[in-house]
Structure 1
Amino acid sequence: MPQNKALTKRAEELGVKFYLETPVKGLLTEEGKVTSLVAESEAAKYTVHAKAVVVATGGYGSNAEMLKDRLGFNLDKDFFTFNVPGINGEGLKMMWDAGAQKYGDTVEMIYILPHNLEYMVADGVLRQPNLMINQKGDRFMDEGMLGNTTFSGNAMFLQPGHYAYVIMDRAISQKYQENGPDIMDIVHPAAGFKMLDPVIKKAEENGYEAIITADSVGELAEKLDIPAAKLQKTIDDYNSYCDHGKDGEFFKNPDYLHKLTGEGGYLVGKFYSGAYGTVGGVKIDENCQVLDDEDLVIPGLYSAGSDANTIYADSYNFTLPGNTMGFAVNSGRIAGLEAAKFIKK
């Protein structure tokens, strides 16, 4: 990204040296103070002595073991993240080993098609606010809220298996293609409706189970493993709301009530609860100094970004874009300024 190149260039002008592919293996302490770190590359091992260390390693959103042990999630089974390489929690473990309080870690809950980046087009097309049901064949929320992935992801996590089926048909898809979708966002462009068929074909070839097609309610019921009579009743009830322009169960915006006729066949996305990654894990003060179990500062230890981000409690604020990035930039700035002050003491 251009801004990262500019920051890197400026840092180098100021004498900063970057050690790439040289992961830090641990923090060293003396008398309760962080005084150095150990890092290692294929070519060399380094012990770096410093009055201040800033840890900003992005959490543990790609670490299946930590997600299970800390939060109870089953990565790549019924819970999916973007699996960003290297986001494995090493920084948090180092801080905990140095005496940091284990504090406030959770996830930026969303909903997602499994292995999302391979099926991004379908993810965008199928997450429109049409009929959504759980494995029992029941609706469980106002589908108009599907535009808020945090609200919807939390709701899906409460369902059997931590997933939900979002159902449309080809006729509805065609309307979206002609008139634009109900929910617009910059991540899932409207052009996706014209690109769906190749993705469906790829899913079929790969045996991918989260994109489902069917020509009838009976076939769909069989593929979803829901009793046909139950699925038919749910569809009939929903269609009656569409006919009357009023959702009698969850009072969804009438503009989003599109009758499911099955014309052209049904299209279904099986969406799971998931996350961008984790946030939190250590407790910091207003100067980004890491605190121990007694809420006392660990001298020389600072943290910023997702490792220290506990400002959302249990729900990521999806209504305000850029939350985590904003916190990362500002906490990084504060940590740097305060570490510099500490060094000069």
Structure 2
Amino acid sequence: MKNHMSRRNFLKGAATGALGMATVGLVGCGTSAVSGSAAGTASLPFEKTISWNAEYDVIVLGLGLAGGAAAMAAADQGAKVLIMEKASKGEDGGNSKYAGQGVLYVKPENRDGAIKYFQTIRGMYNTPGDDILEAFTDMIITNQDWMIKHGANALHFADAIGEFTDIPGYDLMDCWSIDATIHDGKLFNFVRNYGLKSDSIDVWFEVPAQAFIQDPETGIVHGVRTSVNGQEYNIRALNGIVLCTGGFENNIQMIQDYHQLPYAYAKGGLYNTGDGIKMAMDIGADLWHMSNIAGPDLNAIDPTTKRALGYAMMGYHPLLSTAFTCGTASIIVGADGTRFVDEGTIPGHGFIHFHGMKLRMPVSLPAYCVFDSTAINKTIYKVWDNQDKVKDGTIITADTLDELAAKLGLPEGSLSSTVTQYNEFCAKGQDVVFHKKAEYLVPFSGKGPYYGFEVYPTYTNTQGGPRRSAKGEIMNVAGKPIPHLYSAGECGSIWGDIYQGAGNLAECISFGRISGANAAAAKTDNLRESAITGTPVNFNTAAEADHTTAANEFIGTGNGIGGDVTVKMTVNDGKITSIDVLEHSETENIGGAALNKLVEQALTAQGPKIDGVSGATVTSDAFKAALTEAMTKAGI
């Protein structure tokens, strides 16, 4: 097993890239200035004016699905690849590990129909161009086979997943996944582990990219500057760089600037802060559809992480929503205490029907979910105990609607008036304002207590970023490629208007493959020899943990959302006397919190035949698998 990189422990080593590849790449132009040049070097090639600390054929920024696929594709071309990831090991993955893990594909015979479908959901916008849609479609036809070639058990999962059934071609959208399962992190973890185990790919954790190193005369991007423990390092890319740093769901200022919302929060990763977008802007990259988002949905958020507590609690969806607002005495109200949305509909990645077109759901802020005592024992979020949330003040309670309105800061009498109108709709079986389905219309009982909690706009992901070509090149404001710079994934996604589910993961793989291969192609416009004069840095961690065990202790490992879940089981006189979780990278407030409960359950059951923890299914399965492996080793 090869070592992996972290800023906590770093060694000096040989991290030079392989030089001189066979194929010819793309050449463009751009302009920018760069600092950090050595003195007295006016007659030298630009590459010789920089004090380089490491050198690779290809640098990939970001270890999500797009970054992993780009690294795999570049390595396929014979490149020595570096993945730089700003998060710590286990926190990496961006949105990829939280996504559904299903990947959009179309059958070869449906290629032309699929392109027409993508053109239709592009709407009246000019981006992405037809050439990009054609390139994307050609790749999604072959992505599954490509993953199988690399050892993945990629299986057909579902047909006709198009979520906009009124748009011709929706039934051409199919889906595959690893092991034909979803919501388990398997796709991301396969790609991640491929990179971690490959001799052609190095992974540096906790090494954030800070700036591109660009020749101001030619516009060629030659490398990346990073800072580790306060020390700056310059890392050279001989052939190309692929930007896979995701969007900006966790950057409130960018949300305000581009989405015209005072606040919104992520459903997935917490490290998508727009860093890569700003780096590209610094060297003249053009931007596209910055206002487009896969969202908003209305959710409560975790007060510590500021992440949505689930995908959705409003509207019915068998996989994505708890459907709390369907068939309960519940409404969602805005700043004036009135309803502003059909609580029985889950927006299609943020889009709702609006007078013959699809429009992102408008929101009134602050917003609240209000319900009565008949709904207090219904599941709002799987990670919530509603009574505990009442006790800690997350769910506000009052004896009357007027009192609740006052506690929520809503206008006097607003909730009473809204509920009276809503109850009239329920009595008639028809919501004439927002058209909530009759079967979901349940009247408020008229008896307290009443409850309310704040809900916030939450995103699956943002879509905007640097403008991209069909070859994966990042384009400058003059419409020309920035030489040697490419992108993939949600950092400048191709989805310019309506988004088709499973399309972001498909895009991650598709443009990861395109950009990774093009970045790996040998260029003819730069110095082809090594430019390093000293010993290269190599931010390697120590070897993977070697857990020592006594004769009665046994180790087992299972695959969680964030990676391995490793346990140590102690056996005395044929009985399991203790279980210790040695390693895990699960989300602390969900999977991490579940592990303590799982240990208690397993000790009581003396094995993995336990209920698990609701809302932490993947973590529960990983723990059971780890314990099963440990018991097998113990022979019990």
- Partner residue in 2 for 1:99: 284
How far apart are the structure 1 equivalents of 2:265 and 2:259?
13
8 Å CA contact retained: 1:105, 1:310: no
Deviation at 1:114, TM superposition (A): 3.9
Provide closer, same or farther for how the CA distance between residues 212 and 344 of structure 1 changes in structure 2, counting only shifts above 3 A: farther
For residues 11-30 of structure 1, the aligned pairs below 5 Å read 11=195, 12-30=197-215
Pick the aligned partner of 1:233 from 413, 417, 422: 417
- Partner residue in 2 for 1:287: 471
8 Å CA contact retained: 1:126, 1:269: no
8 Å CA contact retained: 2:223, 2:234: no
Pick the aligned partner of 1:37 from 221, 224, 227: 224
How far apart are the structure 2 equivalents of 1:9 and 1:164?
41
Deviation at 1:57, TM superposition (A): 0.6
For residues 188-337 of structure 1, the aligned pairs below 5 Å read 188-189=381-382, 195-202=385-392, 204=393, 208=394, 211-263=395-447, 265-313=449-497, 317=499, 320-337=500-517
How far apart are the structure 2 equivalents of 1:245 and 1:85?
42
Please, which moves more after superposition, 133-142 or 55-64? 133-142
- Partner residue in 2 for 1:55: 243
How far apart are the structure 1 equivalents of 2:505 and 2:402?
46
8 Å CA contact retained: 1:154, 1:273: no
How far apart are the structure 1 equivalents of 2:517 and 2:283?
22
8 Å CA contact retained: 2:405, 2:415: yes
Deviation at 1:127, TM superposition (A): 5.1
Deviation at 1:163, TM superposition (A): 3.3
Amino acid in the other structure paired with 2:404:
L
If the length of structure 2 is used for normalisation, what is the TM-score?
0.45
Deviation at 1:45, TM superposition (A): 1.9
Amino acid in the other structure paired with 1:109:
G
SS at match of 2:421: helix
Deviation at 1:36, TM superposition (A): 2.2
- Partner residue in 2 for 1:185: none
Provide closer, same or farther for how the CA distance between residues 167 and 73 of structure 1 changes in structure 2, counting only shifts above 3 A: closer
Q: 1:141-184: CA deviations, max 9, x gaps?
A: 32222465614794443x2xx2322222121345x56xxx9xxx
Query: Which protein shows a greater Rg?
Result: 2
What percentage of residue pairs aligned between the two structures are identical? 23
Q: 1:32-68: CA deviations, max 9, x gaps?
A: 2222222332366233142211011112222233333
8 Å CA contact retained: 1:56, 1:304: yes
Deviation at 1:304, TM superposition (A): 0.8
8 Å CA contact retained: 1:216, 1:265: yes
How far apart are the structure 2 equivalents of 1:147 and 1:102?
26
How far apart are the structure 1 equivalents of 2:446 and 2:348?
27
- Partner residue in 2 for 1:184: none
- Partner residue in 2 for 1:142: 342
Question: How many residue pairs end up in the alignment?
Answer: 316
- Partner residue in 1 for 2:521: 341
8 Å CA contact retained: 1:172, 1:258: no
Provide closer, same or farther for how the CA distance between residues 237 and 84 of structure 1 changes in structure 2, counting only shifts above 3 A: same
Q: 1:3-40: CA deviations, max 9, x gaps?
A: 55543454443421222222222212230222222233
Pick the aligned partner of 1:109 from 278, 291, 295: 295
Provide closer, same or farther for how the CA distance between residues 282 and 258 of structure 1 changes in structure 2, counting only shifts above 3 A: same
Deviation at 1:288, TM superposition (A): 0.9
How far apart are the structure 2 equivalents of 1:245 and 1:60?
42
Provide closer, same or farther for how the CA distance between residues 115 and 8 of structure 1 changes in structure 2, counting only shifts above 3 A: closer
Q: 1:51-96: CA deviations, max 9, x gaps?
A: 2110111122222333334444434xxx333584432222112222
If the length of structure 1 is used for normalisation, what is the TM-score?
0.78
Deviation at 1:239, TM superposition (A): 0.8
Pick the aligned partner of 2:309 from 106, 112, 120: 120
How far apart are the structure 1 equivalents of 2:210 and 2:443?
57
Amino acid in the other structure paired with 1:35:
H
Amino acid in the other structure paired with 2:256:
K
Provide closer, same or farther for how the CA distance between residues 225 and 310 of structure 1 changes in structure 2, counting only shifts above 3 A: same
Provide structure 2 residue ranges, at least 5 long, that are not aligned to the other structure: 1-184, 314-321, 353-358, 526-636
Provide closer, same or farther for how the CA distance between residues 104 and 248 of structure 1 changes in structure 2, counting only shifts above 3 A: closer
Provide closer, same or farther for how the CA distance between residues 222 and 49 of structure 1 changes in structure 2, counting only shifts above 3 A: closer
8 Å CA contact retained: 1:63, 1:89: yes
Deviation at 1:238, TM superposition (A): 1.2
Deviation at 1:333, TM superposition (A): 1.9
Pair 1:164 & 2:367 matched? yes
Amino acid in the other structure paired with 2:517:
L
- Partner residue in 2 for 1:131: 331
SS at match of 1:324: helix
